[in-house]
Chain A
């Protein structure tokens, strides 16, 4: 009897932990757990008032407007998803503190956060749930291209405005889905920027680019980037000497690095999320692999503070990274510098592109709601279509540094840009486009063979 009771007690404890973990997963993990679990509790209470998505109304109680977010809060992109969420929630906090949505009588925005687990099917299910059960009036998400692709489709089917943030797969905004809008770059823009960056650097330094290797995570983001890169690189007459998709979760990349060494490319183009980037960067420096025109990372893991904390500075020294925001923001704008200090103090990491994109997406949603003056989904869609935000010193919408946000007929913001930076002495130096370059900044090419001494004086983050 005693043993049976013990079993019952242990089973009860495990059940409670599993149920608690369900709430924790729904509401996001760690830092935002307080605000997002509060909002998910709120939404659970208010869901009785939800009407169908077809009616175009969202659940409101008094002066509150619910916006859904789908981020990878667990899984391979967990740290990145967390940073997007932090940016979005901090923006909403500021918007609410400044009087909320004035055209709706000061209605406050209530974020309803869902975890995609970095899985496409889970992400799409979360969009369905947010649209039909949680009564949100619009949804923002989902960072990973592979997740955002089906999420956008689910949003289109449920006729709810969907602001795609982070996913670069071209097709997200090329399927004629009128409910889908994308604020950030698509793969074509990313690759164009990188190749233009290579052209610029080659011209300025009198070096020639001939061959490249592609190594990428094998889901939509990496594959799309590789496909687009090949298309534009072929037009320039560059030769692809290696095309290597890599399974997510790979613990050892010695074979891939051996192949790269044999292929001997001028440039290695990399698309990895954080875990794979850590393994790859460490492997490259250990094996003394040094393409003359450098490692060109499309971002992903190499924009994540968690990556920089996990590797020695020499592992990312001289790397070129396509940052999805203007890295000189804190240097050129006072409000961004102040925000950067706040983020460092409250969140413990440096303001980065993921936080900036989450912030910008939330503010774009707010601007659309102000213009629409209603939670009617069709009106919000119309407002997004007509949105035209010009960046300026006082504009707190665009933390990512784009000159403008305006969506074309496909829902793509054609003014989104990134910055190509090179890590020099552990610091990202903006190089391309020229207008994002600090005075006197220069690319370091060909990459020196100083494997043992590079970034020796740089402290690990």
Chain B
């Protein structure tokens, strides 16, 4: 029993790393623009399909495909904000809280994207047979076994977090992003183009989730409905970790991963999932801004 608990810890950390990588994009979007982006999972799904397409048609490895897909998803995120969301924010700028119409439009986008891809690609589950997905890392006599792609996802989560932290804390753009996330009107008064910055933040979030998708596509399925699972979980992770906090998103991911993995050694899997949500509720009651939230 002790051995299986010890082995489940690295499994949980690897799983948490993947969760964290996916949630990072949402942390940027949610933290900066306060937009509840229900289409986050759909953006993940679209990116996964993009990598699948690149690999099946031209043999481009998903990790290489990042240089193609991430900029495209950045543009997609920018366009979504500028064309769909910005008019609603402008129309309701007298409102103190973020408009619910924005939330509704992201829900609509979620359904539209999922169903569009279902129409085009059908419901079949596809898998990517790349080197990273087929290679297993085996320690001992199959004591600890995991796919190479999961280890890469774990490392990628840190790299991505570092990149996003660097952009938001060490660049001029990052200063603008932090300014608008703290106070939209005050930032506008200081000459920051709020909506352009929002667009860039949304684009960054979409690009970040597309990088996570390159990792996910190599140990999960390619199917139009995979977004819903991770989209919902990403919200919980971001809120648990703290709004606007990049390390918080990673921490939240690790906590979820560990609870699911280690908890499942003591109780059933379904009950272990319940523990994650229980912790989520406790943290929100005790510390509403999340574990590492600043805002």
In the complex, the answer to whether B119 meets A20 with C-beta atoms within 8 Å is yes
Q: Does A391 contact B (CB under 8 A)?
A: no
Residue B294 is within 8 A (CB to CB) of chain A in the complex: no
Instruction: Collect the chain B residues with CB atoms within 8 Å of residue A74's CB.
Output: 118, 123, 225
Which residues of chain A come closer than 8 Å to B272, judged between CB atoms?
Answer: 255
Per the bound structure, the CA–CA distance linking A311 and B129 in Å amounts to 9
Residues from 105 to 148 in B contacting A, C-beta threshold 8 Å: 108-109, 111-112, 115-116, 118-119, 122-127, 136, 138, 141-142, 145-147
Q: For the complex, give the distance between the alpha carbons of A3 and B86 in Å.
A: 11
A218 within 8 A of B: yes
Q: Are A254 and B118 in contact (CB under 8 A)?
A: no
Report the Cα distance A278→B223, complex, angstroms.
Answer: 13
Other-chain residue from A14, A82, A250, A252 in contact with B123 (beta carbon distance below 8 A): A82
- Are the CB atoms of A29 and B122 closer together than 8 Å? yes
Chain A residue numbers with a CB within 8 Å of B150 are: 252
Q: Would B126 and A310 count as touching, CB distance under 8 A?
A: yes
In the complex the two chains form, what is the Cα distance from A192 to B3 in whole Å? 36
Give chain B nearest CB distance to A4 CB in angstroms: 7
CB-CB < 8 A to B109: which residues of A?
14
Known: A25-B115, A74-B118, A306-B125. A10 touches B83 (CB 8 A): yes
Across the interface, B125 reaches (CB within 8 A) one of A30, A256, A278, A286, namely A278
* Inter-chain contacts of B112 with A (CB < 8 A): 14, 17-18, 21
B residues 182-229 near A (Cβ < 8 Å) are 219-221, 223, 225, 229
Report whether A255 and B264 are in contact in the complex, using a CB–CB cutoff of 8 Å: yes
Which of B7-15, B26-34, B173-181 is near enough to bind chain A?
A: B7-15
Q: Which of B72-109 contact A (CB under 8 A)?
A: 83-84, 87, 108-109
Q: How far is the CA of A251 from the CA of B217 in the complex (A)?
A: 11
* Interface of A: prevailing SS: helix
B1-56 interface (Cβ within 8 A of A): 1, 3-4, 7-8, 11-12, 15, 18
- Residues in chain A near residue B221, CB distance under 8 A: 275, 278, 310
B198 shortest CB reach to chain A, Å: 15
Question: CB-nearest residue of chain A relative to B136?
Answer: A286
Knowing A256-B264, A288-B142 touch, does A29 contact B119 (C-beta < 8 A)? yes
Asked if B168 CB lies within 8 Å of chain A CBs, one says: no
A4 to B88 alpha-carbon distance, docked (Å) = 11
Given contacts A254-B11, A275-B221, contact A78 B115 (CB under 8 A): no
Chain B residues near A278: list those with CB within 8 A.
125, 127, 221
Contact pick for A79, options B123, B219, B262, CB 8 Å: B123
**In the assembled complex, B269 has its CB within 8 A of some CB on chain A:** yes
- Bound-state CA distance A244–B264 (Å) is 9
Q: Give B237 Cβ to nearest chain A Cβ, in Å.
A: 14
Whether the Cβ atoms of B118 and A249 lie closer than 8 Å is no
Known: A29-B119, A74-B123, A287-B142. A254 touches B8 (CB 8 A): yes
Question: B123–A29 contact, CB under 8 A?
Answer: yes
Of chain A, the residue at the smallest CB distance from B263 is A255
B269 A256 Cβ-Cβ under 8 A: yes
**Chain B 257-284 against A: per-residue CB contact (8 Å), 1 yes, 0 no?**
0001110110011101100000000000
CB contact list, A270-316 vs B, under 8 A? 274-275, 278, 286-288, 306, 310-311
- Contact between A18 and B111, CB atoms less than 8 A apart: yes
Pair B123/A24 contact, Cβ less than 8 Å: no
For B146, B219, B269, the residue with the greatest tally of chain A CB atoms inside 10 Å of its CB is: B269
Q: Which B residues lie within 8 Å of A254 (CB)?
A: 8, 11, 15, 145-146, 261
| A79 cross-chain contacts in B, Cβ below 8 A | 123-125
Contact in complex: B269, A245 (CB < 8 Å): yes
Whole-angstrom CA separation of A306 from B121 in the bound complex: 14
CB distance from B208 to the nearest CB of A (A): 19
Q: Does A437 have its Cβ within 8 Å of any Cβ on chain B?
A: no
Q: How far is the CA of A74 from the CA of B7 in the complex (A)?
A: 36
Enumerate 23 A-B pairs (CB-CB under 8 Å) in ascending A order: A3-B83, A14-B108, A18-B111, A18-B112, A24-B115, A25-B115, A25-B118, A73-B123, A218-B270, A247-B273, A251-B15, A251-B219, A252-B150, A252-B219, A254-B15, A254-B146, A255-B8, A255-B261, A255-B264, A256-B264, A259-B265, A286-B138, A286-B147
A18-B108, A82-B122 known, 7 other contacts, Cβ within 8 Å: A14-B109, A24-B119, A74-B225, A243-B268, A244-B268, A245-B270, A310-B221
Name B residues whose Cβ lies closer than 8 Å to a Cβ of A.
Answer: 1, 3-4, 7-8, 11-12, 15, 18, 83-84, 87, 108-109, 111-112, 115-116, 118-119, 122-127, 136, 138, 141-142, 145-147, 150, 219-221, 223, 225, 229, 260-262, 264-265, 268-270, 272-273
